[in-house]
C-alpha cells in the first residue's frame, strides 16, 4: 500500500473522481522570475504539472515542485508546520524523501469525492525556489579573477553551500564583460558559470548542492544504471549527432575587439570510439560560441594565443559530445532513488492511480549556450587612449607607445603611427600623446601630442 506524506501528515491518493474535478483547478504554473539581461542557460520548459508528481530538475535556475491533495484537517496540520526552521520532508518511498517548503495552499471543493470534505491543493517547492528570489548585488568580475572565487560569491548570494568539482585551467577565467551583473538572479548566474567550465549544477534529494564535472556525471550515471531497478520502457538509445562541433571565438587586434562580428573557428570531432558506427550525421555541424578572444595582434594568420584556444576548444567539444552520448530516457516501476548525474534534464516521481508509482528519467536536451570565458589578456574598452612615446616618432612612421591610465603606466605597449598631419614634425621620446584606434586600418594612430 502506497502512502504519501508531507510533514508527517498523509496526503490523498488521486482517484478518478478527484482527478476529474481537479482538472478544473489545474495546479498553477510556478514560473521562474524573469532575468533582466544577465547570463543564463536556456533550460527546456518543464512538463505539465500533475497531482502527486514530484518534478526534480537539474540546474540552479529551476526548482523542484510537488502538488499534493489533503483534506481540511490534514491541510491545517501541514500549515502549522510551515514555519519550521528545517523544512519538513515529503516522503514517497525510502530514498525519495526530499525536504520541501510549503507555498500557500489552495482550497478547492469536490462534491463527488468520497471523502465528503473540501480538499486543499498542497504546493511544495525545494530551496531553489528561494535562490531565484535573491539578488547577486553588485557583481564585479575583474580580469584574471578565478572561477572558484566566482562560484563562491554566487553560492553565497543564492544562500547555498556548493560543492565544486575541480576546474581545468584550460577553461581560462570568467569573462568580466558578460559575467559582471547588477542585482541579477544568482541562480541563473550559477548555471551560466557552470556551463562555461563544462559543469552542471545539481541538487540531490538530500539537499546536497554540487557543480559536477563530466567525469563525476559519468560515474553517477553508471552507478544508477548498475542498480537492478525494474525498467518498464526506454533506456540508453543511440541516435544521430553532428559529426563535427565548431567552437567560435571572437577576434582581437592590438587590444581592440573587432567590430565586424568576426569569428575564428576551431573544428572538433568526437573522441575516437565514443559513438557507435553510423551515429555521426555526415555534414552536420554544431556551433558553440565562446566570449574568449582569438588575439591577432602579432599579425599572423593564426592567433597569438592559439595554444590556449586549441586546448579550450577541445574541452568544450568533449563536454558537448559527452552530453550527447551519455543519455538515458527511461520509465521505471516504483519510486526509485535515482541520483541526478548532470546528464539528466529532470526526474519525475509520479503516483498513477492505474499504474501505481512510477519514476521517469529524462535526458539533458538543452541547446548549447554562450560560454562566458576569457583569458588573462588586456582588452581595451575604448578606442581612444593616452600614452607616452617610448621612442622618437617620425611623421609617417611607427613606434612604440606605453599606455597610461589615471596618470600611471598600465604596462601595455602599442605600435602607433604618427600621421603627416603634424606637418612633418616628429614626436620625441617621453612625450605624452593621444591615440585613436582605426578599425578599417587596424592600427593605432597618434592624433595629438603634448606641446610642452
Which among 227, 240, 216, 270 has a CA at the least distance from the CA of 361?
Answer: 227
Which among 247, 250, 245 has a CA at the least distance from the CA of 175?
Answer: 250
- Sorted by sequence, the CB contacts under 8 Å of residue 1 that are 6+ apart come out as none
Which three cell numbers, joined as nine digits, stand for 270?
568526437
Phi first, then psi: give them for residue 79, nearest 5 degrees: -60, -35
**CA-based end-to-end distance of the chain:** 93
Strands (E), 236-308: 241-253, 256-257, 263-268, 280-295
> What is the residue-level pLDDT of the chain in tens, covering all 452 positions?
688 999 999 999 877 777 766 666 666 666 655 555 568 888 888 888 888 999 999 999 999 999 999 999 999 999 999 989 999 999 999 999 999 999 999 888 655 555 566 889 999 999 999 999 999 889 999 989 999 999 999 999 999 999 999 999 999 999 999 999 888 999 999 999 999 999 999 999 999 999 999 999 999 999 999 999 999 999 887 778 999 999 999 999 999 999 888 999 999 999 888 888 888 999 999 999 999 999 998 888 999 999 999 999 999 999 999 888 888 899 999 999 999 999 999 999 999 878 899 999 999 878 888 999 999 888 998 899 999 999 999 988 999 999 999 999 999 999 999 986 555 578 999 999 999 999 988 999 999 888 65
20 vs 1: CA distance, rounded Å: 23
108 vs 96: CA distance, rounded Å: 28
Q: By the 8 A CB rule, do 384 and 376 touch?
A: no
Name the one residue in this structure whose C-alpha cell is 592567433.
303
The whole-model pTM stands at 0.90
SS3 call for 42: coil
Q: What percent of the residues of the chain are helix, what percent strand, and what percent coil, each to the nearest 5?
A: 20, 35, 45
pLDDT at 385: 95
Q: By the 8 A CB rule, do 40 and 191 touch?
A: yes
Q: By the 8 A CB rule, do 374 and 403 touch?
A: no
pLDDT at 32: 58
Amino acid at each position: 500500500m502506497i502512502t504519501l506524506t508531507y510533514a508527517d501528515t498523509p496526503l490523498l491518493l488521486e482517484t478518478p473522481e478527484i482527478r476529474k474535478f481537479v482538472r478544473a483547478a489545474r495546479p498553477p504554473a510556478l514560473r521562474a522570475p524573469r532575468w533582466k539581461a544577465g547570463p543564463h542557460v536556456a533550460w527546456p520548459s518543464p512538463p505539465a504539472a500533475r497531482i502527486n508528481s514530484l518534478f526534480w530538475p537539474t540546474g540552479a535556475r529551476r526548482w523542484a515542485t510537488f502538488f499534493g491533495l489533503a483534506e481540511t484537517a490534514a491541510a491545517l496540520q501541514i500549515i502549522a508546520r510551515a514555519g519550521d526552521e528545517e523544512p519538513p520532508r515529503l516522503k514517497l518511498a525510502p530514498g525519495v524523501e526530499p525536504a520541501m517548503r510549503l507555498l500557500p495552499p489552495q482550497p478547492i471543493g469536490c462534491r463527488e469525492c468520497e471523502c465528503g470534505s473540501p480538499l486543499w491543493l498542497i504546493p511544495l517547492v525545494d530551496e531553489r525556489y528561494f535562490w531565484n528570489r535573491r539578488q547577486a548585488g553588485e557583481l564585479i568580475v575583474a580580469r584574471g579573477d578565478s572561477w572558484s572565487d566566482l562560484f563562491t560569491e554566487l553560492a553565497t548570494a543564492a544562500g547555498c553551500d556548493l560543492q565544486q568539482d575541480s576546474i581545468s585551467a584550460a577553461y581560462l577565467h570568467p569573462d568580466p564583460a558578460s559575467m559582471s551583473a547588477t542585482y541579477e538572479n544568482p541562480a541563473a548566474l550559477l548555471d551560466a558559470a557552470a556551463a562555461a567550465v563544462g559543469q552542471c549544477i545539481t541538487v540531490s534529494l538530500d539537499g546536497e548542492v554540487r557543480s559536477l564535472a563530466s567525469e563525476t556525471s559519468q560515474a553517477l550515471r553508471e552507478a544508477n544504471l548498475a542498480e537492478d531497478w525494474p525498467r518498464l520502457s526506454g533506456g540508453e538509445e543511440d541516435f544521430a549527432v553532428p559529426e563535427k562541433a565548431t567552437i567560435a571565438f571572437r577576434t582581437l587586434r592590438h587590444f581592440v575587439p573587432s567590430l565586424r562580428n568576426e569569428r575564428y573557428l576551431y573544428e572538433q570531432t568526437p573522441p575516437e570510439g565514443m559513438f557507435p558506427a553510423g551515429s555521426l550525421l555526415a555534414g552536420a555541424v554544431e556551433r558553440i560560441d565562446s566570449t574568449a578572444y582569438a588575439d591577432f595582434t602579432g599579425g599572423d594568420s593564426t592567433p597569438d594565443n592559439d595554444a590556449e584556444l586549441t586546448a579550450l576548444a577541445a574541452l568544450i567539444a568533449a563536454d558537448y559530445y559527452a552530453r550527447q552520448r551519455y543519455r538515458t530516457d527511461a520509465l521505471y516501476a516504483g519510486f526509485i532513488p535515482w541520483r541526478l548525474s548532470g546528464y539528466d534534464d529532470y526526474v519525475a516521481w509520479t503516483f498513477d492511480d492505474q499504474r501505481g508509482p512510477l519514476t521517469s528519467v529524462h535526458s539533458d536536451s538543452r541547446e548549447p549556450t554562450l560560454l562566458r570565458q576569457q583569458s588573462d589578456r588586456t582588452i581595451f574598452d575604448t578606442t581612444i587612449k593616452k600614452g607616452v612615446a617610448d621612442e622618437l616618432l617620425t611623421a609617417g612612421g611607427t613606434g612604440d607607445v606605453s599606455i597610461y591610465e589615471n596618470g600611471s603606466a598600465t604596462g601595455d605597449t602599442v605600435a602607433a603611427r604618427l600621421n603627416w598631419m603634424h606637418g612633418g614634425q616628429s614626436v620625441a621620446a617621453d612625450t605624452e600623446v593621444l591615440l585613436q584606434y582605426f578599425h578599417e586600418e587596424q592600427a593605432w594612430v597618434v592624433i595629438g601630442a603634448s606641446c610642452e
